[in-house]
A and B are shown apart, each in its own frame.
Chain A
Amino acid sequence: MNARLTARDRLARLLSVIPWVAEQPDGALLDEVSSRFDYPRVLLLNDLQDVVFYVGVHPFTPDSLIEVEISNQRVRIRYADWFSRPLRLSAEEGARLLTAGQSVLALTDATEGADNEPSALLRALTKLGTALGEGARQAVDVRLGNAPDDTLAMLREAVSEGFRLDLEYYTYGRDELTERSVDPARIFSDKGNWYLSGWCHRAEGERVFRVDRIRQATLTTTPVSVEATTAETSFAPAGDLPRVLLRLDPSARWVVEQYPVDDVVTSPDHIDVRIAVSTVPWFERLLLGLGPDAEILAADEPLAADLRSSAAQRVLARYRQ
């Protein structure tokens, strides 16, 4: 993945490598430097020998050059006074580390280690917070999903122990409750929701379930029989779904970005798109939410062109009882 590091990428790494190696009394193994700083070994060796070796300040007399010595797979660096400390973390780098770290803390409640001492992660984040500023302690809070803790705990157990789950699952798109047996493969969070992927015996295929739509989960004692891949399942629609030609107000452009659409034609006062309709209730929700910002121009069979109107009338009926 680091096949093409630019001069800038390499400079950024060297500004960290030089002070770190210089600080090790006996130098460091090239392999260790390579893995620590994500620096491909061949490139690292090349840059140390052919570049850092010649770096110095005016007038470039031997005593003003960095000393680099490589022997027995180890590198030693001396006299790199101007590079004695690493470049500080940028505000963005600090914010990113804090965010990833706080997410994991919230996820696992990993504030204490096995010995009831503060965990290594908490110590690291405390140090980082001190460097970033007094407000850092509570600056970031990440909820990866909002599923009930006991459900998540059971799903995790099922994944790690390899037992089948019986689920009562609400299919939002079709607006129906179903019972399914699932051989769980993986739990992951995306865009603020927890998902369970696995082999669904009812559908006889790999499926992804949103954990907060699992109404009831039961851990069985049946070992999983199908090894589902842990790869993420794509949500891309099948090619044979019926399409609707929709005219959107420019303020509804987010629809184009959020859902699979084709044939997008943008005019000054509207956007025409063809959108794949996987299930009718999903599409009804979209239309009722968009209201006057969307208009059906044409619909493939078996979808009705007056879909929006009939959905609106069905909901209105509740208000007229």
Chain B
Amino acid sequence: MNKLERLLNLTAALLAADRPLTAEELRVRIGGYPETKSAYHRAFERDKDDLRAMGLPLRVESVPGVDPPVDGYRIRRSDYAGTELRFEPDELAALHLATNLIRLDGDDTALRKIGRTGTAAVDEVGKVPFDDTLATLIGAAAERRAVSFRYGDTDRVVEPWRLSFSRGHWYLDGFDRVRSSERLYRVDRLQGSVQLAGPAEQPVGSVSDPLDLRGWELGDAAPISAKVRFDADQAAWARHILGEVEDEPGGGVVATLEVRNTAAFRSFVLSFLDHAEVLEPESLRHDIIEWLEALT
């Protein structure tokens, strides 16, 4: 019996069981396992790891009526199938097309599960980064659950509302329970792993428009209103990325920014080299001067 056949039989036996089955019972029922006890246990452990890695909801429960207690295994059918998802052929084709147009980092297994249909001979139009942390956060937003993580060296408990990909980064928008208000986080700056917590308590608020997301607005400091002048040759660019700007004689523009993160503001202004200048407040102007003087 090959490994695939053994795994399929094991899955079938675990699904068909109406009570938890012991390792010994499974060995007898499935067949094809090594005879000696230690070799069997190694093979069985590997098989369990394989099933879990595939996302099969394998449960370990005490076998009823046995003393001393013995671990038993089963897969509950309600865990296995979950909510029924049935797509029409045109819907499957649309999803198939979407996953071909947009390439996410990592392996796409979903369409192999639900089956795909239609042809997708299209050029990919976009690549979007994706990882486990993001999947956990999206799952939590969908299921309306809170998450905990570390950010800026502080522990946070957040109810995720929306994950936005904008300007090359993923942002989490949600309700920070400790600060009792909406906050934005850059997902790639989350420290350590994200843990799922209990159900969300706050209703989903109106989320910030991700097109307005800018590094200098991501911070915990009280906002400071800053005025920045951009030269004529950068005016169109500044208008495009900042939206509202005031025209100046000579073609330059002045923009007003709400700054919560001084370091991000400084890097943004310095990316214009000598084509931009902080006009006010004096504190932020002084911050740039001091920064530059240290570099001369």
| CB neighbours of A193 from chain B (8 A) | 167-168
Name which residue of chain B comes closest to A14, CB basis. B8
* With known contacts A87-B113, A285-B270, A101–B142 Cβ distance under 8 A: no
Question: Contact at B8–A99, with CB atoms within 8 Å?
Answer: no
| CB neighbours of A238 from chain B (8 A) | none
Within 8 A of A (CB), among B114-171: 114-117, 123-130, 132, 134-136, 138-139, 141-144, 160-169
* With known contacts A11-B54, A89-B110, A133-B144, A97–B126 Cβ distance under 8 A: no
| CB neighbours of B240 from chain A (8 A) | 148, 212
Question: Contact at A11–B168, with CB atoms within 8 Å?
Answer: no
A96 interface contact, C-beta 8 A: yes
Within 8 A of B (CB), among A6-51: 7-8, 10-16, 20, 35-38, 47, 50-51
Name which residue of chain B comes closest to A47, CB basis. B4
Assembly CA distance A230 to B134 (angstroms): 30
Question: Contact at A56–B113, with CB atoms within 8 Å?
Answer: no
A181 interface contact, C-beta 8 A: no
* Contact among B56, B80, B130 for A96, CB-based, below 8 A: B130
Question: Contact at B130–A89, with CB atoms within 8 Å?
Answer: no
Assembly CA distance A201 to B279 (angstroms): 41
| CB neighbours of A8 from chain B (8 A) | 7, 50, 53-54
Assembly CA distance A121 to B100 (angstroms): 13
A317 interface contact, C-beta 8 A: yes
A225 interface contact, C-beta 8 A: no
Assembly CA distance A212 to B242 (angstroms): 13
A116 interface contact, C-beta 8 A: no
A289 interface contact, C-beta 8 A: yes
> What is the number of residues of chain B that contact chain A, defined by CB distance less than 8 Å?
109
Assembly CA distance A13 to B11 (angstroms): 13
Question: Contact at A88–B143, with CB atoms within 8 Å?
Answer: no
**In angstroms, how far is the closest chain B Cβ from the Cβ of A194?**
9
* Contact among A15, A98, A285 for B11, CB-based, below 8 A: A15
Name which residue of chain B comes closest to A143, CB basis. B166
A141 interface contact, C-beta 8 A: yes
Interface residues on A, range: 35 or more
Stretch at the interface among A69-77, A122-130, A268-276: A122-130
B45 interface contact, C-beta 8 A: no
* With known contacts A103-B102, A289-B267, A92–B207 Cβ distance under 8 A: no
| CB neighbours of B143 from chain A (8 A) | 132-133, 135
A191 interface contact, C-beta 8 A: yes
| CB neighbours of B87 from chain A (8 A) | 124, 127
| Most chain A Cβ neighbours within 10 Å, of B56, B91, B124 | B91
**In angstroms, how far is the closest chain A Cβ from the Cβ of B100?**
9
Within 8 A of A (CB), among B180-215: 200, 204, 207, 210-211
| CB neighbours of B90 from chain A (8 A) | 120
| CB neighbours of B94 from chain A (8 A) | 101, 119-121, 124
0/1 interface trace, chain B 233-275, chain A, CB 8 Å (1 if under): 1001100110000000000000000000000000100110111
* With known contacts A91-B136, A146-B211, A124–B236 Cβ distance under 8 A: no
Stretch at the interface among A242-250, A259-267, A297-305, A306-314: A306-314
Assembly CA distance A130 to B84 (angstroms): 10
B55 interface contact, C-beta 8 A: yes
Question: Contact at A139–B83, with CB atoms within 8 Å?
Answer: no
* With known contacts A10-B4, A90-B55, A212-B240, A55–B113 Cβ distance under 8 A: no
A223 interface contact, C-beta 8 A: no
| CB neighbours of A56 from chain B (8 A) | 9, 12
| CB neighbours of B220 from chain A (8 A) | none
| CB neighbours of A186 from chain B (8 A) | 123
**In angstroms, how far is the closest chain B Cβ from the Cβ of A254?**
10
Question: Contact at A135–B144, with CB atoms within 8 Å?
Answer: yes
| CB neighbours of A104 from chain B (8 A) | 97-98, 101-102
B43 interface contact, C-beta 8 A: no
| CB neighbours of A228 from chain B (8 A) | none
Question: Contact at A93–B110, with CB atoms within 8 Å?
Answer: yes
Question: Contact at A89–B113, with CB atoms within 8 Å?
Answer: yes
Within 8 A of A (CB), among B1-59: 1-5, 7-9, 11-13, 15-16, 28-31, 50, 53-56
A175 interface contact, C-beta 8 A: yes
* With known contacts A103-B128, A186-B123, A141–B8 Cβ distance under 8 A: no
B108 interface contact, C-beta 8 A: yes
| CB neighbours of B31 from chain A (8 A) | 60
Q: List 5 A-B contacts (CB under 8 A).
A: A11-B7, A103-B98, A132-B139, A139-B161, A193-B167
Binding site for A on B (CB under 8 A): 1-5, 7-9, 11-13, 15-16, 28-31, 50, 53-56, 77, 80-88, 90-95, 97-99, 101-102, 104, 106, 108-117, 123-130, 132, 134-136, 138-139, 141-144, 160-169, 200, 204, 207, 210-211, 233, 236-237, 240-241, 267, 270-271, 273-275, 277, 285, 288-289, 291-296
